[in-house]
Amino acid sequence: MIGDDALRIALAARVRRGADLVVAPLSTGFSGLTVGGVVLTTPADCSLLLCGELVSRGLGVVVLTPMSREIERAAYGLAGGRYIEMQVNTEELFEALAEAPRGQPTLG
């Protein structure tokens, strides 16, 4: 889920071309996501609390940031997400998407 239309479209196109993943870009909301899926998002679109909630629902979360901040990296990591900096080279992005830890859904 990436709110910036241009970024979402560009990333979806790049991931479709370079990764063995099914891409379903979402422009609004996180409802309807299935257990085992991976959410690619940004800090502006996914708070730490939301990241933790998504992981607890059984989703992998990859947070793509324009500028890496160690305190944010640690916080998103504790919430169960993977936090990476935007780069022209998308190797780290593809690795993060493929290896995103999928949380176990929690009940109640």
- CA 40 – CA 96 distance, rounded (Å): 10
**Among candidate residues 104, 62, 53, the one with its CA nearest the CA of residue 81:** 62
Angle formed at CA 52 by CA 49 and CA 56, multiple of 5 degrees: 140
Q: What band does 105 get if pLDDT is binned at 50, 70 and 90?
A: very low
Distance CA 49, CA 6 (A): 25
Contact 38, 98 (CB under 8 A): no
pLDDT at 5: 77
CA distance 90 to 93: 5
Confidence class of residue 99 from pLDDT cuts 50, 70 and 90? confident
pTM: 0.72
